[in-house]
Amino acid sequence: MMEADFVIVGAGSAGCALAYRLSEAGHSVLVIEHGGSDAGPFIQMPGALSFPMNMPRYDWGYLTEPEPHLGGRQLVCPRGKVIGGSSSINGMVYVRGHARDFDTWEEMGARGWSYADVLPYYKRLEHWHDRGHGGDPAWRGKKGPLHVSRGLRDNPLVKAFVEAGREAGYPVTDDYNGQQQEGFGPMEATIWRGRRWSAANAYLKPALKRKNCSIVRGLATRVVIEEGRARGVELDRKGSREVIRARREVIVSASSINSPKLLMLSGIGPGAHLGEHGIDVIADRPGVGQNLQDHLELYLQVAASQPVTLFRYWSLLGKAYVGARWMLTGTGPGASNQFESAAFIRSAAGIEYPDIQYHFLPLAVRYDGKAAAEGHGFQAHVGPMRSKSRGSVSLRSTDADAAPSIRFNYMSHPDDWAEFRTCIRLTRELFRQPAFAPYYGHEIQPGDGVQSDDELDAFIKEHAESAYHPCGTCRMGAADDPDAVVDPEGRVIGVEGLRVADSSIFPRITNGNLNAPSIMVGEKIADHVLGKGPLPRDESEPWINPRWQTSQR
């Protein structure tokens, strides 16, 4: 029988960080991962990012239930089924989140998770490379395992995006992960020397070189709980069941979709729902699977009047050139995720910190890799940051191999519609700034004919897509909060020796992409597991727009 001090379910963003820190401290660690190797160019080449999230080999292939407010559409919900988890199939964008996001976590009962508490962990995990684009190194980490870099930013459209923001009256920031998130500036990515720098590359592979850390392939079917304490994990390995024992703790880091699913299969969750499936209730926690959140986004696309976009590489010959150059030298378009400019802005006066995010791309293309029919173009991915809509993850059956039922309830709150219409109108204004005049042809999507609230709503209903940032389904809160699933140290309330550490514990979604805060959660929970005191608080004051109460920009 295999056993270790700590058994971690899931070799994703947080799980890899935990494996690294717990084994570094001298403990034996076994990591359970259902997916396979991350070797090969589809994952390691940043420019190939549209491939792995659409490949069953690397992705769980989840679909939402029909979304009633999006015309019954079923949206894809990619989750990494590979070492590195979703950090091996994502867009590699690195965003810490805004300081106020974490202050809100603490206000919601996650004591010890304010920005002053988490900033030291961000500094510990980062190895920051600014490429000379500015930013204050006092806000960043220089010795961590996770390389964070900036692209070459040599496409004129990338610079035009930031200049257009300045012309429109918005702030410019040289580091949205530093003191000032609000504004337009360079985007950061988990890319190093032309390769995807996933949690597997940063954390897991170095950890596996230690004798006290190893990985086990298989599907975790349930947490084994005896007399109120987690004792191990039942595993399906090639059709046979076995139990991996944990001498100290089991830590579930299986994603905001699979972590609540595994807890429910183990008897932890809403009692009535478990009863419907004949599962004995060990801990009646109604919050398991609830509080599901995500970011939705739209692609606003413009036809380019000059052939300066990445479309010149879109032919078979062009793609062969990009791939060959990357394979031989690690350079060229394949060495970038092409998200090299970004922005965070506020949608209205009276909003204290940004509630809209932009990714700019010098190509008109979809996440599934299908280019716009009109050839040369560019686009802004834009969406609100703090939707009030909430969804759920529930069991479809007691078969651990069956996909859970995923209901986001996208756009179920009326404010979502007003926020998205604002996103579209602000983006159109941005693209009409002088900086884009040399490149602006015409609007491809939504198109100039779509102007009224009703027309915009119809476009949103048909075209809004997930930004793939699900979180919140095992919410962290005070131990006496009936809707919380874990306490502020990640311990599952009502079960000994069991923690959850991944994006599922977020009380509320953070600004931007979720890979960075997920890794930070793994880093911080590791210290709680080890019984170490938290890193000293960092009281650095974030920049808040002094005119936020009276001005939108």
Q: Is residue 2 part of a domain?
A: yes
**Contacts (Cβ under 8 Å, ≥6 apart) of 167:** 433, 434, 435
Is there a single domain that holds both residue 83 and residue 226? yes
Residue reference for tokens 């919050």: 287
Q: Is residue 147 part of a domain?
A: no
- Calculate helix-pair angle for 515-529, 115-125, nearest 10 degrees: 100
DSSP state of 59: B
**Contacts (Cβ under 8 Å, ≥6 apart) of 19:** 8, 11, 29, 31, 203, 204, 207, 213
Where in 190-273 does DSSP place strands (E)? 191-192, 195-196, 213-217, 219-226, 229-237, 240-252, 268-269
Is there a single domain that holds both residue 120 and residue 26? yes
| Catalytic residue annotation | 469
453 token code pair: 């609230």
Helix (H, G, I), strand (E, B) or coil at 336: coil
Residue reference for tokens 């173009």: 377
Nearest CA-CA partner of 21 in 195, 148, 144, 177? 144
Cα(13)–Cα(30) distance, integer angstroms: 16
Nearest CA-CA partner of 485 in 235, 290, 237, 242? 290
Q: Is residue 553 part of a domain?
A: no
- Annotated binding-site positions: 82, 90-93
**Contacts (Cβ under 8 Å, ≥6 apart) of 27:** 4, 5, 6, 212, 248
Secondary structure element (H or E) that encloses residue 33, with its range = strand 29-33
Residue span of the structural domain in which 66 resides: 1-142+192-288+393-405+470-547
Is there a single domain that holds both residue 177 and residue 307? yes
Nearest CA-CA partner of 202 in 140, 126, 151, 119? 126
Secondary structure element (H or E) that encloses residue 29, with its range = strand 29-33
- Distance spanning both ends of the chain, measured CA to CA: 61
Q: Say what the pTM is.
A: 0.98
Is there a single domain that holds both residue 225 and residue 245? yes
Is there a single domain that holds both residue 357 and residue 430? yes
Is there a single domain that holds both residue 329 and residue 310? yes
Q: Is residue 536 part of a domain?
A: yes
User: In terms of C-beta density within 10 A (0-12 exposed, 13-18 middle, 19 or more buried), how is residue 452 classed?
Assistant: exposed
Helix (H, G, I), strand (E, B) or coil at 38: coil
Q: Is residue 323 part of a domain?
A: yes
Secondary structure element (H or E) that encloses residue 10, with its range = none
Is there a single domain that holds both residue 327 and residue 417? yes
Is there a single domain that holds both residue 529 and residue 495? yes
| Cα 352 to Cα 85, 320, 418, 551, distances in angstroms | 34, 47, 18, 10
Is there a single domain that holds both residue 73 and residue 180? no
How many structural domains does the chain have?
Answer: 2
Q: Is residue 552 part of a domain?
A: no
Nearest CA-CA partner of 352 in 121, 547, 177? 547
Q: From first to last of the 553 residues of the chain, give the pLDDT tens digit.
A: 799 999 999 999 999 999 999 999 999 999 999 999 999 899 999 999 989 988 999 999 999 999 999 999 999 999 999 999 999 999 999 999 999 999 999 999 999 999 999 999 999 999 999 877 788 999 999 999 999 999 999 999 999 999 999 999 999 999 999 999 999 999 999 999 999 999 999 999 999 999 999 999 999 999 999 999 999 999 999 889 999 999 999 999 999 999 999 999 999 999 999 999 999 999 999 999 999 999 999 999 999 999 999 999 988 999 999 999 999 999 999 999 999 999 999 999 999 999 999 999 999 987 666 767 689 999 999 999 999 999 999 999 999 999 999 999 999 999 999 999 999 999 999 999 999 999 999 999 999 999 999 999 999 999 999 999 999 999 999 999 999 999 999 999 999 999 999 999 999 999 999 999 999 999 999 999 999 999 999 999 999 999 999 999 9
488 token code pair: 């502020």
Helix (H, G, I), strand (E, B) or coil at 445: strand
Is there a single domain that holds both residue 494 and residue 448? no
304 token code pair: 């380019």
Provide the residue type at 480 as one letter: D
The DSSP bridge pattern shows strands 229-237 and 219-226 to be: antiparallel
Q: Is residue 275 part of a domain?
A: yes
Specify the CATH number for the domain of residue 496. 3.50.50.60
HEC states along 152-211?
Answer: CCCCHHHHHHHHHHHHCCCCECCCCCCCCCCEEEECEECEECCEECCHHHHHHHHHHCCC
- Annotated binding-site positions for FAD: 82, 90-93
Helix (H, G, I), strand (E, B) or coil at 138: helix
Is there a single domain that holds both residue 2 and residue 74? yes
Is there a single domain that holds both residue 425 and residue 302? yes
